Every structure is written in C-alpha cells, then in structure tokens.
Amino acid sequence: MTLLPEIVIFIFAVIFLFLSLGEKKTNLFAAARLLALIGFVITLLSTGARGELFSGAYRVDFFSQVFKLLIVTGLLLVVFMMERRDDVEDDYLPEYFMLLGFSTLGLMMLVSAVELISIVVSLEISSFSLYAIVPLRKSQSRIQMEAAVKYLFFGAIATGIMLYGMGYLYGMAHSTFLADIMVSLPRFLNQPLGIMAVSLTLVAFFFKLSLFPLHFWAPDIYEGASNVTTAFIATVPKLAATALLIRLAMLSASVPTELAMLLFVLAAFSMTLGNIVGLVQKDLKRLLAYSGIAHAGYLMMGIMPLSRDGGAAAVYYMTIYLFMNLSCFYVIILLAQKGENLSVENLAGLARRSPLLAFTLALAAFSLAGIPPSGGFTGKLFLFVSAFKAGYLGIVLIGAVNAVISMFYYLNLVRMSYSREAAAGQGIIQLAFHEKVLCYVFNILILYLGILPFGVLDILRRAV
C-alpha cells in the first residue's frame, strides 16, 4: 500500500506497452485519461502513507506524497490536453503514453529516493523515457531530430558529471545515504573539494530546472519537440528536481558562504539571461523556454535560505508554475491546428476569435509576470520574503528588477491578443466542452492560489 501510487503508474505504462503490440484499435485517448485519473485519485488517497523501503533507501513521507500528487496532476493535465489533431503520429501513440508513464514513474521514485544509487536509477528511468519521446512528432524535420540528439547528448553529459560528484561524496562520507552524507559533509564544505563535490552532484538537477549555465538545451528542445511533449518537459520534471533540492537543503544545518555565493550567482545569471533574451523571442515555445530559465533563478531564492518557510515557498511557487505554464501551452495546443510551432504574431486577434482562450493566456501571462491577484505574484512574494529574511537582500533586488523586465514580453502576448486584428482568413475558434472546462480549471487554480494562498501554504510548510 505504501507504494500504491508508483504501482498504479507502472501499470499505466505496462498497459500501453501491451497495447503497442496489438492492432491499436483501442480508444487510446480515453484509456490514457481514465488510467491517469485513477492514478491521480489513488495518489490523493495515499498522501497519508508513511514508511521506509529497501533498507531505508526509499522514504515515503508527507513531503514525497505531496510531490507525487503534483507530478501525477501534471501527467493528468497533459493527457487531457492531448487531442487527435496533435502532432504525435497515431502509430506511435501507445509507445508515447507508455514512455510518458515510465517518465512519470521515475519522477515519483526520485522524490522518495534518499540514497545516491536510488536517485541515479530514478533519474535515468525518467530521463531515458523523455529522450525517446522528443522525436515522436509527425513532421520529421531537421529541428526535431537535432532537438532529440541534443537532449540525449546534454542529458548524458549532465548525468556523467553528477556521477563524478557523487563519487567524491561517497569518498567523504563512506555512505550513499543522504542523511549520512549530510552529517559528514560540513567537515569538507570549507574546502574546495567539498564545494566541488556538491556542485558537480547538483548538475543533473540544475539541468532539469534549466538553471544557468545548464540552460542551453531548453530553447532548442522546446522548439523541436511536439507541443504536448514540450508542455510535459517544461513542467513535470522540474517538480522532482525541486523536491530533491529541498530535501537536501532541509538536511543541511547551515549553508557555507561559498555554496551560498554559488547559488546566488547562478540565480542572478539565470534570471537576467532568461528575461533579457526572452525580450527578443518571436517563437512562442522558445519564449517560454527562456521564461523557464528565468523562473529557475527565482526558485533558487527559496532554496538558498535552507529554512522551512523558504522550502514551502519554493514548493508553492512550483505548484503555481505547473498550472500557469501548462495553461500557456494549452492555448498553443488549441491554436496550432496541425501541431505546428506558433510565433507571437499568430496571437493577433485572439480575443475576437476566442475570448476564453485570450483570457486564459492573459491570466497565465499575468501570473508568469507576477501581477496581482494571480498566483504568480503570491508565489514570487513568498520567495522574495523568505530570501529577504535570510539576509539575501541582493538577490531580492535582482529578482525584483528582473520581474519588471519580464513584464515587457509577457504583456506583449496580451497586447497581441487584444490589440491586434486577426490575419485574413482566420475565423472563430470553436472549443469543445472539455476544452472549455480545462481552460476554466486553469483559470480558477491560478486565481485561487493567488487570492487564497495560506491554506495551501500551511500544508506545504507541514510537508517540508
């Protein structure tokens, strides 16, 4: 029962493995939605599970269960966002859902892993599934193939560097368990070797978050992968990476000056680079890629204090980031009738073609920019307050300046939707009932997390 959420998602993946061997006459979309919904309900009911498995290498607690719920929620929303017109080949749909399930399973395992080998295995289960998903797109283009190769190549390098750092950690602590490592590590953190070991180990998680300087893969992969695949890669893996960073932070008694300075510099560069380059982007998915790079910098403000409030603020921010980012991608999916990549110019006249889609995009853009009363504003506020209380005034000022810079390209999306006329030949967009419902769900969640945050924040603080 302790492993029930993971078992259900494993069954989800195995069912599509067997469906891929048959004639593929089953309604795959309905099956995927039903199985993902079952996984969500069971994960929700399992939030009270507690236990340690595999000689303590796998810990199930309230913290891990909250993140598993968020990860399965991301899978559920992505599956419901998929349409028959999407740019995934029908012949590859069973394999696509199978790999999506295995990737989700790896991420769920990652948030419970408290031992180095378990972390590596979980990370690779998730990563290799995503490497195989990226090429599954109808249009076999050079950009798509290049994106798939880059993701595999850079991901393998990041994993290799992480393993190198883990070797040093094992040499210092003579144990692969995080709790033992964190007891031994303070003796080495005032030496270059200790800082190097921690930095190299964190590389793979910074890669998942697309934090500077491990951000360079994101724009190309976002542009080359299908719209639904990009929506998953841009949100769900970041939840698991955040969970592990917070778990490491909570095990540390204090952060050494050198490590704090490293995180400070990475956060500052990530925010600044992401927002400045985002100003000149024309492709919507590339714009959201640089937006993600900037938001990884904001997230570090919750990790740096090594406090319960900072950890809770980071989890809260990733929760709202999941919904506001998926909201943007859903608008892209519904606008791209043939699964093509959209430019900012394609948003012209959206308010007249579909008022609901225009409002959904506008609210998500306001939230990403941090404008009240959206959830993005509340999330940024919690992050800034936690960093300020910990004495990191400099990063708060840099974050505030970057939040202002980001408004230019986020609000440009709203301006294009409401102030420009639609191109000739573009008619009214007719949305199905379930598409309207999903738009309303995103809008309600973004507003709820912005206006009434404290109930959710108290739960997350208890989890941390």
Band (9; pLDDT cuts 50, 70, 90) = very high
Residues 245/202, Cβ–Cβ less than 8 Å = yes
The whole-chain average pLDDT of the chain stands at 84
Mean pLDDT for 204-232 is: 84
Tokens standing for residue 150: 């880059």
pLDDT digits (tens, 9 = 90+) for 419-440: 877 666 677 778 888 888 888 9
pLDDT digits (tens, 9 = 90+) for 274-295: 888 888 888 888 888 898 899 9
pLDDT digits (tens, 9 = 90+) for 103-158: 999 999 999 888 888 999 998 998 888 888 888 777 666 777 787 888 888 888 88
Residue 22's pLDDT is what?
A: 73
pLDDT digits (tens, 9 = 90+) for 164-208: 888 888 888 888 888 888 877 777 777 778 778 888 888 888 888
Helix (H) or strand (E) holding 447: helix 433-451
Give dist(CA 345, CA 213) in Å, integer.
30
pLDDT digits (tens, 9 = 90+) for 51-61: 888 888 888 88
Give dist(CA 130, CA 277) in Å, integer.
26
pLDDT digits (tens, 9 = 90+) for 326-382: 998 888 888 887 777 778 788 887 888 888 888 988 899 898 888 888 888 888 888
A 10 A CB-CB count for 394 gives 11
A 10 A CB-CB count for 71 gives 30
Residue 41's pLDDT is what?
A: 92
Q: What is the CA radius of gyration of the chain?
A: 21
Sequence-distant (6+) residues with CB within 8 A of 349 are: 417, 420, 421, 422, 423, 426
CA–CA distance from 15 to each of 8, 11, 23, 125 (Å)? Answer: 10, 6, 14, 17
Residues 114/177, Cβ–Cβ less than 8 Å = yes
Torsion sign over Cα 315, 310, 165, 59: negative
